[in-house]
């Protein structure tokens, strides 16, 4: 039997995605060739790319005037492409974690960066609120889900300037109002596909407003014009992403996925809050991520942390170690993780309590 995969990324994918991709790696669309050895310009693969873009638009109800791109380079390359393409003089960033911090560091190469608020001093254990976004900045950058620290901005915010969001680890976990954003991006390896493809949803009209020369490959317009085929796209991850999109649709779309995610998260947070051995690391309940659930042992049980880790591992839990900057445990409960896996972890926590708490 497969272990329960709580890995933060690359992470669990639907069985459907893994099976369909494995089949296509052997014989792609009846061509008798492997998906790994066909031209990205073959009619079979062009159909995959077209369908992936169409399903992306359908599942997120993306309005007219936006382009969907599948690129290489990971979310980390977007940290630089965003200011390169969008920042004339000034940008604003909300510093909610290590990725947000890396994104704003890149923007500093291009001009003035205003950090509107930061939760760095308390190891990013909450989402700052009540900050002011400068009206003269070219865009405001947020990270909706902070994969390492387990905080999440779960609602689409109103913003008077173009809003840019890193949704690497919560894309397709809930419905989003794309019209509120100028650009949404992420590495696909958390909730969509194997590593190697980066998705970008960009509002066409925000481009072409900076004077600087942009290297061809780093220019969004290149990839819009080339329909994500200017250079060879990551063929296998794009195929896998399409399978995941089909799976999401089969589940009932993003609203149905959101409901399942809420149930899974409630199950685990309830145990964390009621089990005397554990506590959550994120203080405000409204800031708690539905995707990455971080918890530690309560002070009086601290020395049992390694024991719990070994116990849970022996029961088939995989990938639950917290990030080194937070410690403790992190259970990633992405879309594809079955509720039964969360229940298995909760059972471990209860069994561990019954053997250690008098
Ligand atoms: C994983 C992650 C990244 C980094 O993605 P790469 O594709 O490895 O560059 C960026 N932002 C967030 C929120 C992430 O979870």
Nearest atom in ligand 1 to the alpha carbon of residue 167 is 13
Convert 129-153 to b/e letters by CB count within 10 Å (16 or more is b): eeeebeeebbbbbbbbbbbbbbbbb
Domain end call among 191, 221, 251: 251
Same domain, residue pair 110 and 259 = no
List the Cα angle 92/79/291 in 5-degree steps: 90
Report the C-alpha gap between 305 and 227 in whole angstroms: 49
For ligand 1, atom 14, which residue shows the shortest CA distance? Answer: 168
Q: How far apart are CA 249 and CA 257, in angstroms?
A: 9
CATH number, position 177: 3.40.640.10
Instruction: Please choose from 97, 99, 325 the residue to mutate so as to test ligand 1's pocket, defined by most ligand atoms within 8 A of CB.
Output: 99
283 burial type by CB count under 10 A (0-12 exposed, 13-18 middle, 19+ buried):
exposed
* Inside any domain, residue 5: no
Are both 237 and 257 inside the same structural domain? no
**Same domain, residue pair 203 and 241:** yes
Q: Considering the domain boundaries, does residue 1 fall inside one?
A: no
Quote the strand ranges of 211-327, DSSP E: 278-280, 292-297, 317-318
Amino acid 49: pLDDT: 98
- Ligand 1 geometric centre to CA of 313 (Å): 26
Name the residue range of residue 160's domain: 15-251
CA–CA dist 179, 60 (Å, integer):
11
Asked if residue 4 is part of any domain, the answer here is no
Binding residues for L-glutamate, as ranges, are 41
Let me know whether 247 and 274 are in one domain.
no
Q: Copy the structure tokens of residue 314.
A: 């022996």
Pocket around ligand 1: residues whose beta carbon is below 6 Å from it? 9, 74-76, 99, 143, 147, 166, 168-169, 187, 190
**DSSP character string of 124-158:** T-S---S----TTSS-EEEESEETTTTEE--SPPP
Identify the three-state secondary structure at position 267.
helix
Structure tokens at 55: 């399903």
pLDDT of residue 197: 98
Do residues 105 and 134 both lie within one domain? yes
> Which residues in the chain land under pLDDT 50?
none
Residues near 321 by Cβ (< 8 Å), separated by ≥ 6? Answer: 309, 329, 330
| In a domain? residue 112 | yes
Binding residues: 41, 75-76, 99, 147, 166, 189, 231-232
What distance in angstroms lies between residue 351's CA and the mean position of ligand 1's atoms? 34
Q: Is residue 2 part of a domain?
A: no
Where does a domain end: 219, 251, 283? 251
Ligand 1 pocket test: which of 71, 74, 142 has the largest number of ligand atoms within 8 Å of its C-beta?
74
Q: Looking at residue 1, what is its pLDDT?
A: 77
Same domain, 106 and 167: yes
Q: Which of ligand 1's atoms lies nearest the C-alpha of 74? A: 7
Nearest to 221 by CA among 233, 235, 210, 236: 210
242 and 304 share one domain: no
Cα-to-centroid distance, 330 and ligand 1 (Å): 16
**Same domain, residue pair 176 and 213:** yes
Q: How many domains are contained in the chain?
A: 2
Give the whole-angstrom CA distance, residue 334 versus residue 190: 7
Among 251, 277, 292, identify where a domain stops. 251
Together in a domain, 316 and 202:
no
Same domain? For 76 and 181 the reply is yes
CA dist., res. 194 & res. 9, Å (int): 9
Distance from the alpha carbon of residue 168 to the mean position of ligand 1, in angstroms: 6
- For residue 100, tell me if it sits in a domain: yes
Whether residues 221 and 301 share a domain: the answer is: no
Query: Is residue 283 domain-resident?
Result: yes
- Torsion, CA 140, CA 209, CA 67, CA 167, rounded to 10: -20
- Residues marked as catalytic: 99, 166, 190
Q: What is the CATH number of the domain that holds 301?
A: 3.90.1150.10
């Amino acid at each position: 039997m497969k272990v329960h995969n709580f890995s933060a990324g690359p992470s669990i994918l639907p069985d459907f995605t893994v099976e369909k991709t494995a089949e296509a790696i052997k014989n792609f669309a009846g061509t008798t060739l492997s998906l790994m050895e066909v031209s990205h310009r073959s009619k079979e693969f062009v159909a995959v790319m077209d369908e992936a873009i169409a399903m992306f638009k359908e599942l997120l109800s993306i309005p007219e005037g936006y382009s969907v791109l599948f690129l290489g380079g990971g979310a980390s390359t977007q940290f630089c492409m965003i200011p390169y393409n969008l920042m004339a003089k000034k940008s604003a960033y909300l510093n909610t974690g290590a990725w947000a911090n890396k994104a704003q560091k890149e923007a500093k190469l291009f001009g003035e960066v205003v950090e509107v608020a930061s939760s760095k001093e308390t190891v990013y254990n909450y989402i700052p609120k009540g900050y002011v976004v400068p009206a003269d900045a070219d865009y405001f950058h947020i990270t909706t889900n902070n994969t390492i620290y387990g905080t999440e901005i779960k609602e689409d915010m109103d913003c008077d300037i173009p809003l840019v969001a890193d949704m690497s680890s919560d894309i397709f976990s809930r419905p989003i109002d794309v019209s509120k954003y100028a650009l949404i991006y992420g590495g696909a390896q958390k909730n969509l596909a194997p590593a190697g493809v980066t998705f970008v949803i960009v509002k066409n009209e925000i481009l072409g407003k900076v004077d600087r020369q942009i290297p061809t490959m780093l220019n969004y317009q290149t990839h819009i014009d080339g329909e994500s085929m200017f250079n060879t796209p990551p063929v296998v991850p794009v195929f896998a992403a399409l399978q995941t999109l089909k799976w999401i649709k089969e589940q009932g779309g993003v609203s149905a996925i959101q409901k399942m995610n809420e149930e899974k998260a409630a199950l685990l947070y309830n145990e964390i809050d009621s089990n005397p051995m554990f506590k959550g690391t994120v203080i405000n309940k409204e800031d708690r991520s539905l995707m990455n659930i971080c918890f530690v042992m309560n002070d009086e049980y601290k020395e049992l942390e390694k024991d719990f880790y070994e116990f849970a591992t022996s029961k088939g839990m995989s990938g639950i170690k917290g990030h080194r900057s937070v410690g403790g445990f992190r259970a990633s409960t992405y879309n594809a993780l079955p509720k039964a896996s969360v229940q298995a972890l909760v059972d471990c926590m209860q069994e561990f309590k019954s053997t250690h708490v008098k």
